[in-house]
Amino acid sequence: MKFIVSSNILLKKLQVLLGVVNTTNTLPILDNFLFQINNNSLIITSSDLETTMSTNLEIESESSGEIALPAKLLVDALKNFAEQPLTFSTQKGNILEITANDGRYKMAFVPAEEFPKPIEIKDASNASLNSEVIAKGINSTIFATGNDDLRPVMSGVFFQFGGNNITMVGTDAHKLVRYVRNDISSEGNSEFIMPKKGMQVLKTILNDYQNDISIQFNDSNAKFTFESYTLSCRLIEGKYPNYEAVIPKENPNKLIIERILLLSSIKRVGIFSNKSTNQIKLKIAGSELNISAEDYDYNNKAEERINCNYNGDDIEIGFNSRFLIDMLNNLDCKEICLSLSLPNKAGIISPNDKANEKEEITMLIMPVMLNND
């Protein structure tokens, strides 16, 4: 088996696929990429059994065959090549030789028969999403997902299709983000929970991709197909929490403020907060917002005052500064609206200036109990 391929093109593809490969695997074969060659076409696959990703590219070849090559070794080697054609050829003793302009390099390969077979999605539902929509949905929700093994459904992103809209939700019970887009098409009402790892792999490549993504899914698996890539994931089983029930319907106190102004202030003040709680206090009265933090263990304290546009009752409420920073960092609006009711009720952050009328972003953050002064 022999083929010629561009070093840069191959490296770019492999770096994406490497995101699927775990640092430690129970099956040694999963430390490898599967290379499948059929004349001028090369399909490369990586898998951890739960998530599988494939890509195809054109090569120069007159042969066919398949082998499994060590993933990390191959990527590390390609990182150090200048752009040039590389010749890959198999030799006796399960050895692959790579010939470059200035040298020859050899590595052992594994027979491809051990590599897991691709997942087949039977009785699939179908949807089509623009890459910009799904990228925005992932960026808006993935940071809010949990890491609790006892509640696996909250460790993924919830997809809910409604015919002409899609809702994506991420929550860890302390914070929740709901992203809604009202200009997509799908086959009726359906839903699934996508694992975080698959979302992170998608996130790395969607910024460079501008067209539609085809989604096929059933009760156990989902497949995302776009450009030269296919990503398949085993879905998280279980019932997603009733997120609508926890989003307050009435938060009459409205604070409107520049996002970057608020974000910068919280970052500065948050440095002085207790490192275990990250608690900061927002005190809003009239047109003034007071942001403060205090770490009683180390006598650290910070306070800032900001002019704001506020309509509501005076209020003092505590939040985890790290959660607020995550939320404000994952919005791209100029101004945000923080809606509040009582110090022990959830606050709602939403863009005050919508860039797209077809899009709705709602971010919920639970308060923390204020320390007594």
Q: For the chain, what percent of residues have pLDDT higher than 90?
A: 86
Both tokens assigned to 202: 């998608």
Say if CB 104 and CB 98 are below 8 A apart.
Answer: yes
Measured distance CA(234)–CA(50) in Å, rounded:
5
Q: What confidence tens digit (pLDDT) does each residue in 106-127 have?
A: 999 999 999 999 888 999 998 8
pLDDT given at position 372: 58
Say if CB 189 and CB 162 are below 8 A apart.
Answer: yes
Sign of CA dihedral 7, 12, 13, 15: positive
User: Among residues 211, 245, 248, which one has the least CA distance to residue 226?
Assistant: 211
Q: What confidence tens digit (pLDDT) does each residue in 75-110 have?
A: 999 999 999 999 999 999 999 999 999 999 999 999
Using CB atoms within 10 Å of the CB of residue 355, give its burial: 0 to 12 exposed, 13 to 18 middle, 19+ buried: exposed
pLDDT given at position 357: 86
Both tokens assigned to 120: 């087949």
Say if CB 247 and CB 348 are below 8 A apart.
Answer: yes
Residues near 127 by Cβ (< 8 Å), separated by ≥ 6?
161, 166, 184, 185, 186, 187, 214, 215, 217
Q: Which position has the token pair 């391929």?
A: 5
**DSSP single-letter state for residue 173:** S
Q: What confidence tens digit (pLDDT) does each residue in 142-197 have?
A: 999 999 888 999 999 999 998 789 999 999 999 999 999 998 877 778 999 999 99
**DSSP single-letter state for residue 346:** -
Measured distance CA(290)–CA(264) in Å, rounded:
14
pLDDT given at position 325: 98
For 143, phi then psi, to 5°, come to -70, -20
Cβ neighbours of 148 (radius 10 Å): 12
Average pLDDT, the chain: 94
pLDDT given at position 288: 97
pLDDT given at position 210: 80
Say if CB 316 and CB 280 are below 8 A apart.
Answer: no
Both tokens assigned to 350: 């939403």
Both tokens assigned to 139: 């960026």
pLDDT at position 280 over 80 = yes
* Cα-trace Rg, the chain: 25
Region 341-361 average pLDDT: 93
| Residue 266 parent element (H or E) | helix 259-270
For 100-130, give one letter per residue: b (16+ CB within 10 A) or e.
eeeeeeeeebbebeebeeebeeeeebebebb
**DSSP single-letter state for residue 296:** T
Walk me through the domains of the chain, giving residue ranges and CATH numbers. Answer: 2-114 (3.10.150.10), 125-245 (3.10.150.10), 248-365 (3.10.150.10)
- In DSSP terms, 316 is beta-bridged to 283
pLDDT given at position 74: 98
